[in-house]
Amino acid sequence: MIGIIDYGLGNLTSVAGAVEKVGFEPKISGEAAVLGDCGKLILPGVGAFGDGMRNLRQRNLVEPLTELVMKAGKPILGICLGFQLLAKKSEEFGDHEGLGWIDAKVTGLKPDDKTLRIPHVGWNELYQSADSILFDDVPDESLFYYVHTYKMEPADPSIRIGECDYGGRFTAAVQSGSVFGTQFHPEKSQRYGLTLLRNFLEKS
């Protein structure tokens, strides 16, 4: 069973549908005990960083999830806002402390080309900058779907496995031990998004 973390922000049903489509059973829950019984976790999310962390704290999920992920080593995939929440801090609408599972900060997306619109919405190439199980049967420069205004900047560039170019390169995917994250939405990225999701569920 695949635990999809419900903290009040996120496209839970579309992620659950994608999990089912690649042959796994999703369980949407905001209860730590239920999530602890799941083999792997997905942290989706759409919205602001501060709201996401507030909701996680209000549901008393931060400490139990940290125990599961950082101490027990349960694999997790963060998606979009869920990806950014993995970082130590964010500057979105003020300074906010994140989950801190990845040594990184979240900063505003500022394309060199001022004609490019913010937020970044649409299909763009994913440049694979390191080998990862996520990319098995996913060709380099495949298109994935993005919707975001902020980006993650890892302190250790070696965990960066994928980049996107939107008026300059930014981190689009990371892998640090059993912690994975994508700025793009695999569940909305058709064939290769589903392939990447299946790779995480089968191989992490």
38 has catalytic annotation: no
Category of 154 on φ-ψ map: left (φ > 0), alpha (ψ -120 to 50) or beta: beta
Please pick, among 38, 120, 164, 187, the residue that the annotation labels catalytic: 187
Of 133, 145, 138, give the one whose Cα is nearest residue 177: 133
Q: Report whether 165 contacts 124 (CB < 8 A).
A: yes
- 31/16 Cα distance (integer angstroms): 16
- Looking at residue 23, its amino acid is G
Please pick, among 96, 120, 148, 185, the residue that the annotation labels catalytic: 185
User: Is residue 119 reached through a cis peptide bond, with omega within 30 degrees of 0 on the bond before it?
Assistant: yes
The H or E element spanning position 53 is helix 49-58
- Looking at residue 41, its amino acid is L
202 has catalytic annotation: no
**DSSP 3-state assignment of 140?**
coil
The H or E element spanning position 76 is strand 76-79
148 has catalytic annotation: no
Please pick, among 80, 92, 96, 120, the residue that the annotation labels catalytic: 80
- Catalytic positions are 80, 185, 187
